Structure 1
Amino acid sequence: MTRRLLSVLLLSMPLLAAAACGRPWRVPFEDWRPYSFIDAKGHHTGLEVELLATLARELGCSVEYVQNVPRNRRLPMLATGELDLLVAASLDGPSPEIAWFTRPYRHEEFAAFVRAGAAPVPAPQSLDDVLEAGLHLLAHRGPRIVPLVDQFAARGLLTPFEDYAKGVRLLALGRGDVLVGDHLAVLDAAAAAGVSVVELSLPVRRDVVAYKLSRKRFSEADVVRFNEAILRLDAQGQLQRIRARWLPAGAR
């Protein structure tokens, strides 16, 4: 019985590969340093780019990046099959009816920042303190980092931004008091813009992220193959080596 089941699985592997890799995976691309960007030679690079390329090779697949897809269009396009895969998806995000989630493949960390020399006194110990102080929040547009962001919006104390370069510019111009967003993305954007920022010592969010797969493109069997490949690559140390090149020790 065991041999028969193994034979069936081995015979079905080419069919599963064909389903997942009949054409390149269509993935939205954005300038999101250090996770994804185009280098001086015109090549796609960054942490997410390297991780996804390694996973695609493990599965015998390839990636086709789709440029200039606004964040508010990504889920609808995933639902219709115009996009196949989203990277860095929070497991508590919406859309279980249109997408599968793989197992987590890395951690993400969000933090709060102010302009250097503009830290509020007394220093807030939580985002609730920031809200109660009436400070204006700058937050990345997309899935809510924390539910409290909606309360800032309800009080007229929220300005969302589409990309981190814009968020840092808004902070530098005094269009907001506190910026919350991906820890490394904020630091990278601030360094690129020559803006000095200070991280507030308060908790925002630390979580894991997964790949979000379109149900129009992938089956449950494909999700199993994705998960098995992630486990193999982790066991071989390949994903860890990529994370180590791009992330500080505490964020891998």
Structure 2
Amino acid sequence: MILKNTLLFTLLFCCQSYIVWGQNAQSICPEPIKVGFNDWAPYSWVDDSGKAVGLDIDMLTLVANNLGCQVKFIHMPIKRAHQMLKSGTLDMMMGASYTKEREKYAFFTQSYRDEEIRLFTKADTLPQISIDKWQDIFSLKLKLLVPTYGWYGKDYLQSKAELHNQGLLVISQDAAQSVRMLAYKRGDILIGDSISLPYIANQSEGLALEPLPLLVDSNKIHFMLSKQTKSSGLLQEINNAILTLSNRGALAKMVNKWQNISVAQTPKTSTEEPIQAPAVIDNHGAFNYTGQGQLSR
């Protein structure tokens, strides 16, 4: 009889603990987390089958899996996403650099990856170009191709006017146009994100880019969570998940996977199936990759 009571008490205690844990887990995100994204391969875009794919998509899916949360990826323009984040009709954005202006309406999670800004040239011209410092662009009289939208570091910002005055600055509409101009020798080097530029070059022009040694700039990249979110504990839980996955090496492994994708053989898609998570996508219109700027950059 004593043994039965002991077993019954143990079962009740375990079940009660399980129920409490389940209620807490459910209260973190009782509804799918609504995440806005735009076309910025290889970080996020919609493939031909209508799926949200990309490095940031995969990384957020890892975090969502760790929390037991569902994610609703919503394809939309960047300006609309920021407005919806302010109003609370959107819960989250990906690929965000910290700014004081954004902090007015969003919480920033712990960084989940780094971003590097580098200079690139065509593989066949790499032996003829040596840049160890920013001023080498002026001394070597190299024409720099720069997409209109984006942050390219303090050196570029401070020397932009002088580059223009010396005829060394070639502004392009977007990264894809910069790549085309490099292919047709309208410039000598181009500047941009260390992962996206090689991807865009391979996909749009079949062009192999090589990075130059100089690291122009680096940033920590975060998820932005609307300050209107109904779950006050969600930010901390996301931070905990990022720390856990980082310690396991899962986030670094994901970045490495996308850095090594052979885009020439697998245009518009990953070399692997995207990570499966309880997620849905709300897609407004067909995919039309233009190479334009990252959603939150």
With normalisation by structure 1, the TM-score equals 0.75
Q: 1:118 to 1:166 in 2, by over 3 A?
A: same
Cα distance in structure 1, aligned partners of 2:208 and 2:45: 22
Query: Which of the numbers 109, 113, 130 marks the counterpart of 1:106?
Result: 113
How many equivalent residue pairs? 236
In structure 2, relative to structure 1, the CA distance for the partners of 1:188 and 1:14 (3 Å cut) is closer
Seen in structure 2, the aligned counterparts of structure 1 residues 61 and 92 have a Cα distance that, compared at 3 Å, is: same
Q: Deviations over 1:77-135 (max 9, x none)?
A: 43233443222222457421111111111222221012345569663322233256554
Q: 1:78 to 1:147 in 2, by over 3 A?
A: farther
Contact 1:31 1:38 in 2 (8 A): no
Q: 2:106 aligned with 1:90, yes or no? A: no
Larger radius of gyration: 2
Equivalents in 1 of 2:72, 2:38: separation in Å? 9
Tell me the residue number matched to 2:293: none
**What CA distance in whole angstroms lies between the structure 2 residues aligned with 1:232 and 1:196?**
36
**Residue 221 to residue 200, structure 1, CA distance change in 2 (3 Å):** same
1:58 matched to 2:66? The reply is yes
Return the alpha-carbon distance in structure 1 between the equivalents of residues 249 and 209 of structure 2: 34
Matched residue, 1:130: 137
Pairing 1:32–2:41 present = yes
Deviates more, 1:98-107 or 1:114-123: 114-123
Report the CA distance shift for 1:196/1:234 in structure 2 as closer, same or farther (over 3 A).
closer
**Displacement, 1:239?**
3.1
Change (3 A) 1:91 1:128: farther
The alpha carbon displacement at 1:144 in A equals: 1.6
Distance 1:218 1:130, change over 3 A: farther
Structure 2 stretches lacking a partner, 5+ long: 1-19, 261-297
Question: Quick check: 176-185 or 210-219, which moved more?
Answer: 210-219
Partners of 1:139 and 1:80 in 2: CA distance: 33
Corresponding residue to 2:243 among 231, 234, 245: 231
181-190 vs 89-98, which deviates more?
Answer: 89-98
SS of aligned partner of 1:95 = helix
Q: Percent identity?
A: 27
- The answer to whether the aligner puts 1:197 opposite 2:212 as a matched pair is no
* Secondary structure in structure 2 of the residue aligned to 1:148: helix
What code does the residue aligned with 2:75 have? Answer: Q
Q: How many angstroms apart in 2 are the aligned matches of 1:219 and 1:152? A: 45
Distance 2:173 2:84 in 1: 21
Q: Alpha carbon RMSD of aligned pairs, Å?
A: 3.4
Which structure exhibits the higher relative contact order, with contacts defined as CA atoms closer than 8 Å and separated by 6 or more residues? 2
What letter matches 2:58 in structure 1?
Answer: E
Of stretches 185-194 and 80-89 in structure 1, the one that deviates more from structure 2 is 80-89
* Counterpart contact for 1:26–1:82, Cα < 8 Å: no
- Equivalence map 1:70-85=2 (5 Å): 70=78, 73-85=80-92
> What is the distance in 2 between the residues matched to 1:74 and 1:92?
16
Alpha-carbon separation, structure 2, partners of 1:56 and 1:243? 17
Quick one: which of 187, 195, 205 aligns to 1:184?
Answer: 195
Following the alignment from structure 2 to structure 1, what is the Cα–Cα distance between the partners of residues 66 and 224? 18
Shift of 1:142: 4.4
Amino acid at match of 2:55: L
Query: Contact 1:137–1:152 (CA<8 Å) still a contact in 2?
Result: no
Q: In structure 2, do the counterparts of structure 1 residues 65 and 116 end up closer, same or farther at CA, with 3 Å as the change threshold?
A: same
Contact 2:105 2:226 in 1 (8 A): yes
| Counterpart for residue 263 of structure 2 | none
Offset of 1:227 from its aligned partner? Answer: 0.5
